[in-house]
Amino acid sequence: MSPVCPSTAPADEELARGLVAGDDDCLAATYHRWSALVQALARRSLGDAGEAEDVTQQVFLGVWRGRHGYRCERGALGAWIVGIARRRIADALSARTRRADLVTSAGTALALTDHSRRTNPEAVLDRALIRAELARLPGPQRQVLHLSFYEDLTQTQIAERTGLPLGTVKSHTRRGLRRLRSRLEEEFRPGSSLASDHYT
């Protein structure tokens, strides 16, 4: 018979047994007991309340999906959950770095417009080229990047402005920047004739 968590706060060992057995009540009790700690760790590392909430949800989804891999002899349930949290936080920081690299790459290409205005008589064509590439993105990606680059809004502010979930804004940003960077790298590659072909 699967152990069932009592209505009173169970001991960690009892909670772990119920969780491994697939008891939903034990998952809820586990979340109640450790979610504040997980979220505090995530917020301290990430510095963003929205990201911390996302990571906390991912951690407890990972707890549920990976519950059969928990072994009490290897450590306490709380320590196991904190270990999952640290991995998810590291993943979030890595993803942030990748997004920052994409933003930098695309921003550098966009900045070519200002530099070209001083050194290149074809600056107007460069500017038109960049706007044309932005216009080719799917609507949601175009909107998010426009708000980011031209109105200098943060992802949280974009979510508030558009009513989109923060995770969706991040997804649109990531996908849009990948497509934009790929196109701009192709256009601005030394010796490339794509830009001139675009306007002849």
Distance (Å, rounded) from C-alpha 17 to C-alpha 154?
43
**Could you tell me the two tokens for 31?**
């979340």
Distance (Å, rounded) from C-alpha 30 to C-alpha 17?
11
Class of domain 120-199: mainly alpha
**Could you tell me the two tokens for 107?**
């921003």
Q: What amino acid occupies position 145?
A: L
Q: Do 18 and 25 meet the contact criterion of CB atoms below 8 Å apart? A: yes
Q: Do 4 and 18 meet the contact criterion of CB atoms below 8 Å apart? A: yes
| pLDDT tens sequence across 135-148 | 788 888 888 887 87
Distance (Å, rounded) from C-alpha 10 to C-alpha 120?
71
Of 33, 152, 51, nearest to 96 by C-alpha is: 51
Output the pTM of the full model.
Answer: 0.49
What average pLDDT does range 21-40 have in this prediction? 92
Q: Where are the domains of the chain?
A: 12-92, 120-199
Give me the CATH topology for the region 12-92: Rna Polymerase Sigma Factor; Chain: A (1.10.1740)
| pLDDT tens sequence across 69-128 | 898 888 899 999 999 999 999 988 887 776 666 655 555 555 544 444 444 444 444 555
